[in-house]
Amino acid sequence: MKCLLLLAVSFLVAGSAARAETNPLLEEWKTPFGAPPFDRIEAAHYAPAIREGMRRQREAIAAVAADPAAPTFENTIEALEQSGELLARVGNVFRAMTSANTSDEIQAIARELAPEQSAHADAILFDGKLFARVKALHDARENLSLTPEQRRLLDRWYRDFVRGGALLDEAGKGRLSEINGELSVLGLRFAENVLKETNAFELVIDSKSDLAGLPPAVVEAAAEAAARRGREGAWLFTLHKPSIVPFLQYSPRRELREKLFRGYVSRGDNGGELDNNAILSRIAALRVERAKLLGYETHAHFALEESMAKEPKRVYAFLDELWTPALARARNEARSLQAIIDAEGGGFKLEPWDWWYYAEKLRKARYELDDEMIRPYFRLENVVAGAFDVATRLWGITFVERTDLPVYNAEVRVFEVKEADGSHIGILYTDYFPRDNKRGGAWCGELRGASKIGGREVAPIITNCGNFARPAGGAPSLLNFDEVTTLFHEFGHALHGLLTECTYPSLSGTAVATDFVELPSQIMENWALDPEVLGLYARHYETGGRIPPLLVEKIKNSGFFNQGFATVEYLAASYLDMDWHTLGEPKELDAKTFEAASLERIRLMPEIVTRYRSPYFSHVFGGGGGYAAGYYSYIWAEVLDADAFQAFKETSLFDRATAESFRRNILAMGGAEDPMELYKRFRGREPSIEPLLERRGLK
């Protein structure tokens, strides 16, 4: 749970010992709003600070377990919630740096001490005296005078102990601890290998003729990337999305598209020390063994117990309902692309590295629209301002940039978030450009979670990170469709963390079921490209003119375009995740053979590659594997967000009463109540799948 398995499971670091009195992580943070003093923190500070946090938590836990007084909610559950405060404070910062500002030193330190971190968490969950107090309260819960949030918290703590091995005998606890320790190391290795393989790949172009068809801004960015790596006069393309996506979209050089595409889909699958196949197979086998040890049929049964879906068969049924219409639509799309190839006399069959290129041609022919037409209207700063404006119109909150808070990288911007009356809500850090020491993708993180235990209100500090196109050739950062919606998506997660009103850190903000956590993020995507909203923030970066209504109409008309492809590649990854985690025996399998069989079972068409192949599927195998048996959550939550956004469409996009209901029942509540009950309180009923099918053109 958030207070223990997010706090205590925070990555530990080793390094040269720093004296406590000179370690900024152990001092009071005398910065505005108590933000992390990034200007003073060095890698060597983390190890002693986190170890001190562990020591303090052990002392606090021992005191709770040995308390001679009968267990009460206050002296047991609330005491547990507060036991890892220092560990959380330091661990959150370090975890953020391992993703956004890492180094060989930090990675080596995290790897070395991951088993120690795992053992610390296990020791708490294996404490018999402590569990006895929690169990006594849980057994008597019907007779306790508790708020709904407190009842939920008590139940969460009890289930975490049971799911963490509290009911096992000593031999079982010993084996579970071994499994957890090994998994913690393997997850780190998997993620590091993906990052290293991503950074190692280079497509260097020396001939200007090989740049034909590429937009000038893409060419400029490639030249600047080459110069940064000492290759003056050449052009460098990498596997980071701002580089690879436009190349696949616009380059007519088919052999180069293939080289770049194969580089992307073969990460972690190239043999040698960075190969992830044996690692992921071992992870899957250990997860099966752990599930069996705890009394579950498979890891998916273990993981889904805490979700809205509850069980694997319900997830498979949901995926199957979408797969058939999505695959039919994708096959129709493939035929349209093949027709273009044939009409041009290509003389070849459509392959995965061709899809993006011919899809972009088709979009331009069918809708007179392509990414390069809209990029000038999506300057990064304007998109950020647009996301902020949507939140202001919905809830009256404002965002004020602060330049007086330390940052971990010069590219980071910091904003204070305020209520309409000017009162403080929290802090938001944004970090949007790719770096070699930053993992790929986009995510929302937490430097400090919100809580109100004992009447002491702690305001949240949230991060939004992405890997968007850098400014190049004198132009600012200009985003494409995908990047715009990604920015709004992560901003939705940030709002979930910022607007929480929960008392307890284990339940606040995004501490909810995996298949519910994407609702606040995905609903924000609906505003990003809505014609009414586009007219508010999409302005040409040179002229300042608003996006023309005709272009907005083209964007609207192209809403169903390529949705078969997008849905199929996503669903294929969801099936692959579920197949890995419904294994019933703890055997290490050949990863390539298993993946091929999984995709053959669903008859994935050869023109499309699953969005994530197993060797770089970091959502489920990297780090803590938070989306293991949970990658389906994005489209599960899309059912929720499509239905929820319908509530706004039934009134108006910025209807204040609907917005306040969404804030009160969804954003503010975190995990304080059952997610379906919260949703029904907002919508008045359970969600319908019809709005999702209509949105994706699958009806």
Between CA 239 and CA 231 the distance in angstroms is 17
| Alpha-carbon distance values, 431 to 94, 228, 377, 406 (Å) | 16, 20, 21, 13
Alpha helices in 510-601 (DSSP H): 514-528, 531-537, 549-557, 563-581, 591-601
Between CA 300 and CA 291 the distance in angstroms is 9
Q: Per residue, what are the HEC states of 116-149?
A: HHHHHHHHHHCCHHHHHHHHHHHHCHHHCCCCHH
Residue 490 annotated in active site: yes
Between CA 19 and CA 474 the distance in angstroms is 46
Beta bridge partners of 204: 236
User: What does 290-333 look like in DSSP terms, one character per residue?
Assistant: HHHHTT-SSHHHHHHTTSSS-SHHHHHHHHHHHHHHHHHHHHHH
- The 10 Å Cβ neighbour count of residue 576 is 24
Using an 8 Å Cβ cutoff, are 439 and 89 in contact? no
DSSP state for residue 663 in the 8-state scheme: I
- The 10 Å Cβ neighbour count of residue 379 is 22
Q: Which residues of 250-264 are buried (b: 16+ CB within 10 A; e: fewer)?
A: bbebeebbeebbebb
Q: Would you state the structure tokens that stand for residue 101, as one six-digit string? A: 């500002």
Helix (H, G, I), strand (E, B) or coil at 472: strand
Q: Residue 538: which of 380, 393, 686, 334 has the closest Cα?
A: 380
Between CA 146 and CA 374 the distance in angstroms is 54
Q: Would you state the structure tokens that stand for residue 459, as one six-digit string? A: 């305001």
Question: Residue 547 corresponds to which amino acid?
Answer: I
Segment (H or E) for 41: none
Pairing label, strands 203-205, 413-418 = unpaired
Packing angle, helices 352-367 and 312-343, rounded to 10:
70
Integer-rounded Cα Rg, in Å, for the chain is: 25
Question: Residue 508 corresponds to which amino acid?
Answer: S
DSSP state for residue 611 in the 8-state scheme: S
Helix (H, G, I), strand (E, B) or coil at 379: strand
Residue 314's contacts (CB-CB under 8 Å, 6 or more residues apart) are none
Region for 582 from its dihedrals, namely left if φ exceeds 0, alpha if ψ lies in -120 to 50, beta otherwise: alpha
Q: What residue has token string 């494409």?
A: 480
Q: Would you state the structure tokens that stand for residue 649, as one six-digit string? A: 């469409």
| Alpha-carbon distance values, 46 to 6, 23, 51, 86, 161 (Å) | 17, 9, 8, 12, 28
User: What does 214-246 look like in DSSP terms, one character per residue?
Assistant: --HHHHHHHHHHHHHTT-TTSEEE-SSHHHHHH
Residue 448's contacts (CB-CB under 8 Å, 6 or more residues apart) are 34, 89, 92, 458, 459, 460, 461
Residue 616, Cβ density class (10 Å: 0-12 exposed, 13-18 middle, ≥19 buried): buried
Q: Would you state the structure tokens that stand for residue 121, as one six-digit string? A: 């968490």
Using an 8 Å Cβ cutoff, are 37 and 406 in contact? yes
Its sign, for the CA torsion 227, 233, 238, 242, is positive
Kindly name the residue from 490, 525, 595, 638 that is annotated as catalytic. Answer: 490
Helices (H) and strands (E) in the chain, counts: 27, 7
Active centre residues (catalytic): 490
